[in-house]
Amino acid sequence: MKQIFRSFILLLLAASTQFFVWQKKTRILFFGDSITQAGVQPGGYITRMGEMLKARNLSDQYELVGAGIGGNKIYDLYLRADEDVLAKSPDVVVIWVGVNDVWHKASSGTGTDADKFERFYTALIKKLHAKGIKVHLATPAAIGEHTDYSNQQDGDLNHYANIIRRLAQQNGCGLIDLRKAFLDYNQKNNPQNLEKGILTTDRVHLNEKGNTLVAEQMVGALVR
């Protein structure tokens, strides 16, 4: 009788363990700059992602965490990775950075040279991979929305986006190519060649349509 009772208890424990493991949410952390900082606000891309997951009855499977700070560049992300990422034990991290590394070169002379950008980015990927975290890299979307390649930073932004695409391939990371998505969208929806107002409020930060587009791209890449 005791043996039967013991077996019954073990079966219950095994079943409950499987249940709780199955119920564990995948924690996705978004690591970036002011765009990601705003992403957790009402209408922000992370908030929109949550709404999309809810509409698909997937809210119980994913936890979305924002870790964005305005003005951050790649070396800022590397320096705060332990406290703002590893301490939160994410399963997946999306790195979305690069706009300030390019933009601040012209605006304040404090950008990040391409070789240093690549070295810090590589070091950050390795730090996250060492903890068994799945990593997705997002390319910087826009610094201006002109469709005739006349935005001041188009050349640099394309160069840094190419670095990120290569790093994703070399390091086995997922790629969320927001640069391509924004260019494609503007080619179709910006016939007046406006510098802002299509997906951004100020050439960089997202408006409602921009947040929705980013949320769609993120969900498409991260949710299976």
Residue 143 lies in a domain: yes
What SS3 state is found at 64?
strand
Residue 16 lies in a domain: no
Q: How far apart (Å, rounded) are the C-alpha atoms in residues 220 and 179? A: 15
**Which residues form the domain of 103?**
26-222
Q: 138: which residues sit within 8 A by CB, 6+ positions away?
A: 32, 94, 95, 96, 164, 175, 176, 177, 178, 218
Q: How far apart (Å, rounded) are the C-alpha atoms in residues 103 and 99? A: 6
- Label residue 10 by pLDDT band (50, 70, 90): low
Residue 183 lies in a domain: yes
Cβ of 217: how many Cβ atoms within 10 Å?
Answer: 20
Q: How far apart (Å, rounded) are the C-alpha atoms in residues 216 and 52? A: 8
CATH number of domain containing 83? 3.40.50.1110
Residue 5 lies in a domain: no
Q: Is the pLDDT of residue 169 over 70?
A: yes
Residue bearing the bigger pLDDT, 122 or 24: 122
Residue bearing the bigger pLDDT, 65 or 9: 65
Express each pLDDT in 142-156 by its tens digit. Answer: 999 999 989 999 999
Cβ of 87: how many Cβ atoms within 10 Å?
Answer: 9
